[in-house]
């Protein structure tokens, strides 16, 4: 069982996490939701299209202008409070690696701390434990926040199943399982902990493809797996497409991840993702068709 905020999600229930960037320089929307009203409109649309989680970020993941913890708090805390007021049942996630930001957003009503940088601030898990929120434990390959990978190398694989160019999947498992067990040991609810392979973070395109190919090794651990695939560079490089032409590649990767058992999907395009997830669930036998008339009349 996965429990976040007031919501409980069943074993075969895919969960959509909609991205709402509170940044002026995000790689995908270029600051479209930096101001309050467009951001609130985005939340309303995402919820209407089927998102159960809203993931709010105050710092661009890639390199750019410095954003202090104080500025990150300013961009996120008031917005978290307003989303909580307008949508009391939605799960509010905040994408941050800083414990002081985590503390402030939890006070404002956040349900989940999405640590995309692999526990670089170990006190963030302590905040999650203290406030009873969930926590995403991500593999970032030891990268510092807001840096791009450069000639990243992982040790040779320990298992024959990791047959890619490196032992990246072994490292993903070692790091994420270690972070998850540490969080549980600190008092974070086990049913609120997710693990994330961290596509693109500390990885080449081949690493991210291998992480997708071997995603079943993560889902077999029993921890719910979150994947953040939406319009990322590994999709762009694989298909040689710019940011705005990566939807089809993203959805293909989403379908594979769903078949291999991922539970939560962090996305820009909610409606399209929902259709893919519903189709995969129906093929897998976990969801009946919405209508079934063909061949019956």
What are the residues facing 115 on neighbouring strands? Answer: 137
Q: In order of start, what are the domains of the chain with their CATH numbers?
A: 2-284 (3.20.20.20)
On the 0-12 / 13-18 / 19+ scale of CB atoms within 10 A, 293 is exposed
Label residue 166 by pLDDT band (50, 70, 90).
low
Q: Between residues 149 and 101, which one has the greater pLDDT?
A: 101
pLDDT of residue 1: 87
Neighbours of 126 (CB within 10 A): 17
Q: Does 164 have pLDDT greater than 80?
A: no
Span 112-127, mean pLDDT?
Answer: 97
Q: Does 31 have pLDDT greater than 70?
A: yes
DSSP string, 108-167: HT--EEEETTTTSSTHHHHHHHHHT-EEEEE--TTPPTT----S---PPPSSTT--SSSS
On the 0-12 / 13-18 / 19+ scale of CB atoms within 10 A, 171 is buried
pLDDT of residue 158: 61
Span 81-98, mean pLDDT?
Answer: 98
Label residue 163 by pLDDT band (50, 70, 90).
low
* Residue 12 · residue 259 · CB < 8 Å: no
Task: Give the pLDDT confidence of 251-268 residue by residue, as tens digits.
Answer: 999 999 999 999 999 999
Span 181-193, mean pLDDT?
Answer: 98
pLDDT of residue 28: 85
Which of 38-52, 112-126, 153-167, 273-287 comes out lowest in average pLDDT?
Answer: 153-167
pLDDT of residue 291: 95
Span 211-238, mean pLDDT?
Answer: 98
pLDDT of residue 184: 98
pLDDT of residue 182: 98
What are the residues facing 289 on neighbouring strands? Answer: none
Task: Give the pLDDT confidence of 194-213 residue by residue, as tens digits.
Answer: 999 999 999 999 999 999 99
Span 117-137, mean pLDDT?
Answer: 98
CA distances from 248 to 21, 30, 73, 279 (A): 22, 20, 34, 15
């Amino acid at each position: 069982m996965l429990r976040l905020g007031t919501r409980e999600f069943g074993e075969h229930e895919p969960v959509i996490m909609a991205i709402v960037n509170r940044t002026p320089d995000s790689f995908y929307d270029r600051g479209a939701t930096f101001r309050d009203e467009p951001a609130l409109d985005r939340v309303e649309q995402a919820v209407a299209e089927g998102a159960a989680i809203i993931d709010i970020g105050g710092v661009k993941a890639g390199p750019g202008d410095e954003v202090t913890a104080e500025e990150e708090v300013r961009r996120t805390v008031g917005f978290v409070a307003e989303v909580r007021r307008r949508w009391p049942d939605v799960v509010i996630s905040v994408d941050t690696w800083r414990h002081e930001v985590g503390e402030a957003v939890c006070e404002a009503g956040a349900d989940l701390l999405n640590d995309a940088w692999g526990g670089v601030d170990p006190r963030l898990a302590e905040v999650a434990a203290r406030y009873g929120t969930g926590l995403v434990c991500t593999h970032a390959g030891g990268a510092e926040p807001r840096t791009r990978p450069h000639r990243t190398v992982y040790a040779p694989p320990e298992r024959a199943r990791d047959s890619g160019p490196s032992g990246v999947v072994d490292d993903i498992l070692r790091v994420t399982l270690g972070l998850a067990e540490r969080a549980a040991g600190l008092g974070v609810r086990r049913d609120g902990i997710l693990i994330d392979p961290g596509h693109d973070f500390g990885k080449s395109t081949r690493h991210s493809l291998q992480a997708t190919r071997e995603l079943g090794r993560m889902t077999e651990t029993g921890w719910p797996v979150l994947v953040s695939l939406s319009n990322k560079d590994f999709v762009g490089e694989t298909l040689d497409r710019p940011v705005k032409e990566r939807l089809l590649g993203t959805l293909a990767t989403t379908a594979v991840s769903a078949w291999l058992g991922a539970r939560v999907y962090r996305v820009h395009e909610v409606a399209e993702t929902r259709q893919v997830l519903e189709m995969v669930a129906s093929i897998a036998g976990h969801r009946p068709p919405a209508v079934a008339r063909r061949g019956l009349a």
